Amino acid sequence: MVGGNGFIGAHLVQRLVAAGWQVTILHKYEQPRYSQRPAVVQFLRGDLTQETQLAEAVAGQDVVFHLLWTTTAIHEVANRDPAADVQANLLPTVRLIEACLAAGVGRLVFTSSGGTVYGRTQTIPIAENHPHNPVNAYGVSKLAVEKYLHMFRHLRGLDYAVLRPSVPYGPGQHPLSKQGAVAVFLYRVAHRLPLTIWGNGDVSRDYFYIADLVDALLLAAEVQLGEARVFNIGGAEEVTLNRLVQLAEAVTGETAVVQYQLARNFDAPRVVLDTSLAQTQLGWQPQVPMQEGLAKTWEWIKQLRTLL
């Protein structure tokens, strides 16, 4: 697993170990930020630019999960220097694909982006065959990886699956980050810190709980796939930023201080994914209602107060 100590990876590792999988992690950080890596997991310190560690990480693996992206946290970083984004993310991912093919890996599961590869959407909900016109460098690179996966399947028979998640949230998501609206909003509202909203607050997403994403990743690794290889993964409810503020106030019992700034031209106004393909082909659908997921996330954040 590449990126197994990140927010998504740490949850996935715990589930895999509980299910009896033998797990190897390739990551530059030895431990997840908010949990301990299970002792049975093999850890390799490194990243996709280090060929020796990469070859060792994929050797003998039935499934490789690619969860690592250096500009995931702040999309503006990719926009400021698209060439550096290609160098740091796209090129190493192509090397990973080649290493998986050389090692005879059973399947490569890649986490793309359901919020950026489509760009300015024409229809809601967004199906996988919606036109792909990303308006930020992060989305362009993610989409390019999808195209390389398709190419390598055509040329060399690569077995792969792509998940396009909307916005996952939950315990383990850094509440002091610039990304991850749910954790950030809960923390800042609870501590009476100002929230910055870009635009008028009508930007909407179909947020979904981290356990639902882990379910989708496991299914993408195990289900027999046909022609369909790319699947939207999102929540069952469209929530605007203004509504998210209200939900954070209700959960924390505090009143939010909101600062509105000019909208950013690289933010998609609405991201609501059509997940019917994942339901029919993977047998997946979101299980955790938004308010339940918020309550679980808030309970976790309260436990962290002395650590932040």
- 3: tokens are 């990126």
Query: How distant, in Å, are the alpha carbons of 58, 73, 100, 146 from that of 93?
Result: 13, 18, 10, 10
**Which residues are designated catalytic?**
138
H-assigned helices in the chain: 7-18, 51-58, 75-80, 82-85, 91-103, 137-156, 181-190, 210-222, 241-252, 276-281, 290-304
Residues 269, 115 contacting (CB under 8 angstroms): no
Instruction: Give the three-class secondary structure for 126.
Output: strand
Distance CA 128, CA 118 (A): 9
Tell the burial category of 276 from Cβ atoms under 10 Å away from its Cβ (0-12, 13-18, 19+).
middle
